[in-house]
Structure 1
């Protein structure tokens, strides 16, 4: 089949996935599987190859990210149940001071969202933001923007959140390098979209004197203060970054050690994403055990239950991607791009961001947008010189940050728990997130200009 016909078939399958999710409320797991089946049939694949391809694609995705997602959820549950999240907020506020409360809230969201899901983290921290707004006479919209954008930026960009884990795995990127550059990209993006834009919003006459006055019926006893009966914020930050540091250590050490030596094997094992996060979860449990009522078995059981839908969707995305790859569309696109200059790498980064952003706006879910877009671009990037899997993957993740519309559950979480109207929610959440995502894209493009000299990008 010609490249043109394959593109038409791909668009039909993709439109089916989007329409079935958005219009007919079909679960993304089924939509992605049926989309893969449809693409395989229309492209002329045999039925047995389609069935095998779907199963293999699902299985290979689980091999890459299944353990990581479950352990990441377990770590988030440990931090949540122990009260670490509020203590991290107290520590950030103490470090930055009352005058920089927006930065404190933003950094708290940025850190907490690495292991804790966006919805849960926002609900946990928004009451603290209300109290801080009132007591510090800080515009409420500024603090909500700082918190929400800090949360969504790491949710879309930093491992071990399921979306970026799926992207790194599908793109075949080294987890250590992907993690390092995701932090470099996401931190300034979160600050610009959350703190800088949030301050701009707060200067508006409409919002300047709104110190969470809509919450007069809310108990104000919740304060951002350190509690001696809870674990310290420093411990919480240490536990979040422990597996991240282990992964980076393993990645860097294996660069300088001779392959096959005992030292190389040890650091390669230690830096394996699954082993690093397993160590992190075990250390977190023993460090927080006295602050948690639930048993470790209950926490792990809850993590596996919560992970089920995520694993199903990401696995189905991998199955859809496997069929896309099996049709040969990636190879034909690469062949059509033969002879392009290094500028093709930047074009690929921008294209990945745009498609991810469109999918995010169309169907609402960041994770589904990232999984689907990485499945599309993985076979293209794999055979194309000058395109970095790490940078294209980060561009895909950046596309999942912004353009959150009312079809996104996160939109209504911010709307409901902040008591904003839809217009306010769009200004604070949708625009703030989009600024963060575009900022991340710009940083990725700048990094691509130095990809030949920066380690781990090619």
Structure 2
């Protein structure tokens, strides 16, 4: 088949995936599988070759990141049920004061809390942020809402074990230790700079509380008082976590936790002794340190069998999960630990499937030879390929409305091209992640959750969420392009 025919069929497949999700409200999982099958058949792989390629790609990706996603989500579910987020925000407020809280909260969410499911993390952290907002003055709501949006969305694509970060690393063959190190190099300045710029803009006349915030009567409204709807299916909805649904599902998650309003932790556990906050996060921090140590030893070309075993991402995250379970068992009791684990397993299911079908699409694209074709048009050793990667992911996100789906689809499209570009795969993964953040808008579940939980109008949410996260998408390319000069 000619190069032109392959390019045309690939474009048709991607367009069909977008239309099936957006126009016909088809589940993204089914849409990606149909797109992969069409592309394989149209490009001449045949029925048997298409099915075999898709199945192999699916299995390869799940073998690479399936357990990692599950372990990360399970750890996050346990931390959420133990009240770790509330206590961490309280500690940041006491230590740093209200004025520094937007930066501190966003950086903490973007770096240390990415094992916690996005909808759950948002539902728990937004009321805390809203309660603090009046202490920041007239523009407190704007600053805290912007910080939450940027911290949440940047974290899931740049920080291990964020689900989009795991998917990008797996699809592009990047070791998690490498992605963790370089992702932190990108996410920290991106979050800090973006929030500073947005704060300066919002507090100089762009934010108008009378128009951008709900009426005083609605200030105490919650997601229950104002039902949240999206213009896409629940499967495509979450801008952070595709397939995890609607604001209603997130509110249900918060309700199911049976929290007491004063303590923000399970009512049944109100009388239990509270563990030190550092102890709660020690297993997660230890797991991330072990993963990062693997990248460091690889860079230094130093080998030790014990370190090599412990720094393997699957082993490191398993150690973190076991440690978190033991702490939860001690301070919540075994029944509550089992409930948290069951909740985490339900949350991780469709993320695993979406990551797998992203691998199917990548394998099909590789099999038809698209990588060699695109490699002829993208010159290595320059910034242009990374900008093209960013643009592809950005267009997909604008069309689909989900950060995770657009990141996975972009990575699947670009994975076969990585070797021909002469660029480190980690740079391509990070650029795809940055592009997938561009223009979080009305089809995003995160958009509507932030509107309702932070007491914003749609106009206000377009400023804090859509503009704020889009700015972060652009700012992130600065450190990524800078890294390309050294890698």
* Aligned counterpart for 1:359 among listed residues 385, 392, 396: 396
* Aligned counterpart for 1:311 among listed residues 339, 349, 352: 352
Partner Cα distance (2:110, 2:209) in 1: 25
Match of 1:188 in 2: 189
Contact 1:139 1:211 (8 Å CA) reproduced: no
Residue 295 of structure 1: CA displacement?
A: 4.2
Partner Cα distance (1:222, 1:71) in 2: 30
Match of 2:72 in 1: 72
1:66-89 CA deviation, whole Å, 9 max, x = no partner? 000111110100110000001111
Paired residue secondary structure (2:91) = helix
Partner Cα distance (2:200, 2:118) in 1: 22
Point out the more displaced range, 234-243 or 27-36.
234-243
Match of 2:367 in 1: 326
Residue 271 of structure 1: CA displacement?
A: 1.1
Residue 420 of structure 1: CA displacement?
A: 1.8
Match of 1:288 in 2: 328
Indicate whether 1:268 and 2:308 are aligned.
Answer: yes
Partner Cα distance (2:186, 2:207) in 1: 32
TM alignment of 1:49-448, pairs within 5 A: 49-111=49-111, 113-137=113-137, 139-204=140-205, 206-207=207-208, 213=216, 217=220, 229-256=273-300, 263=304, 265-293=305-333, 294-335=335-376, 340=379, 342-343=381-382, 346-385=383-422, 387-448=423-484
Contact 2:77 2:117 (8 Å CA) reproduced: no
Which 5+ residue runs of structure 1 have no aligned equivalent? 452-458
Distance 1:214 1:202, change over 3 A: farther
Paired residue secondary structure (1:367) = helix
1:200-245 CA deviation, whole Å, 9 max, x = no partner? 3134375479998555546997589xx9954444334434322111
1:181-208 CA deviation, whole Å, 9 max, x = no partner? 1011011111222344135313437547
Residue 290 of structure 1: CA displacement?
A: 3.3
Partner Cα distance (1:336, 1:424) in 2: 41
Which 5+ residue runs of structure 2 have no aligned equivalent? 223-259, 265-269
Contact 1:147 1:194 (8 Å CA) reproduced: no
Contact 2:168 2:433 (8 Å CA) reproduced: yes
Partner Cα distance (1:303, 1:133) in 2: 30
Contact 2:156 2:164 (8 Å CA) reproduced: yes
Partner Cα distance (1:169, 1:308) in 2: 17
Partner Cα distance (2:202, 2:471) in 1: 13
Partner Cα distance (1:24, 1:208) in 2: 37
Distance 1:247 1:214, change over 3 A: farther
Distance 1:38 1:211, change over 3 A: closer
Contact 1:61 1:315 (8 Å CA) reproduced: yes
Match of 1:455 in 2: none
Distance 1:341 1:401, change over 3 A: closer
Partner Cα distance (1:257, 1:157) in 2: 25
Partner Cα distance (1:436, 1:118) in 2: 18
Contact 1:254 1:268 (8 Å CA) reproduced: no
Paired residue secondary structure (1:204) = helix
Match of 2:36 in 1: 36
Q: TM-score, normalised by structure 1?
A: 0.89
Residue 336 of structure 1: CA displacement?
A: 5.4
Give RMSD over aligned pairs: 2.6
Point out the more displaced range, 46-55 or 148-157.
148-157
Paired residue secondary structure (2:395) = helix
TM alignment of 1:1-40, pairs within 5 A: 1-40=1-40
